[in-house]
Amino acid sequence: MPLMQARNRLNAMIGRGEQPFGIFISSLDAASTDIMADAGFDFVMLDGEHGRLDRIAVEQHVRAARAGGILSFVRILDNVPTLIQSMLDVGADGVMVPHIDTADQARAAVEASRYAPRGRRGMCPACLAGRYTLEGWTEHVHASDENAMVIPILESRRAIENVADILAVDGIDLVMFGPGDLSADMAIDFSRDGHRMEAAWRCTLDAARTAGKLVMAPAGFTYDEADILLVEMELMLLRKTVGGMVADHRATQAARGALK
């Protein structure tokens, strides 16, 4: 099993002028990740916040991602050290952490992702990440500390105000611009008035450029300048696709009926 290499792989892609492209996964069936890897996505973001994925399901998706040669990250439910450790132990390449509003919160998340003496992550080789052996443990610790990514989601006015301080935290190389909850915090109807978050987006992007760090953002909106793009949940895409198929079928039926 290869050592962790998420940060190195993403940086290499961006250095070549490529824009990493990923997708949210919430299906329990790891076949979803098989499909996304085969389709050519660079990574999956396994949804443990709004999706149904628990530790066991995440591990199956991680195995599928590794088999398909892509990266796997997990959006966790909360900024809790045990959740961060758990997802890294089952082999995820990093965690996306919701509602990071301050540098101290970001620093706590990074500490939970690093082994001592750099952090407070519990040590255990008896897991997928540790290969169930102490052989090569020193190399594993080094590779994990260097590559396990902690991705804060900036989804409040307070987070945007503190974005420069969050980006200054050692171990934070990438932040996610979260327009959904940010719009709620700003009392904006995202589906109708999403353009009113443009100033927050520019603030985030400019702060990242100044800090020499990266921004991830949802695809399909107005954030294409992001370094990394993330597609909406695969079950939403399924709903959209089959909804379109049904609508087309009904329209064809109606047209045929009108000709009779």
d(CA 78, CA 207): 24
Sole residue written with tokens 């966790």: 76
Which one-letter amino acid corresponds to residue 88?
L
Q: Are strands 214-218 and 228-231 parallel, antiparallel or unpaired?
A: parallel
42 in Cβ contact with 20 (< 8 Å):
yes
Helix axes 81-89, 103-113, angle to 10 degrees: 40
CB atoms within 10 A of CB 83: 19
Token look-up 């591990």 returns: 59
The burial class, CB within 10 Å (0-12 / 13-18 / 19+), for 13 is middle
Contact 91, 46 (CB under 8 A): no
Give CA–CA dist 220/203, Å, rounded.
20
Annotated catalytic residue, options 50, 142, 195, 249: 50
DSSP 214-248: EEEEETTSS-TTSSEEEEPPHHHHHHHHHHHHHHH
- 160 touches 185 (CB < 8 A): no
Contact 60, 30 (CB under 8 A): yes
Whether 50 is a known active-site residue: answer: yes
Contact 177, 216 (CB under 8 A): yes
Which residues form the catalytic set? 50
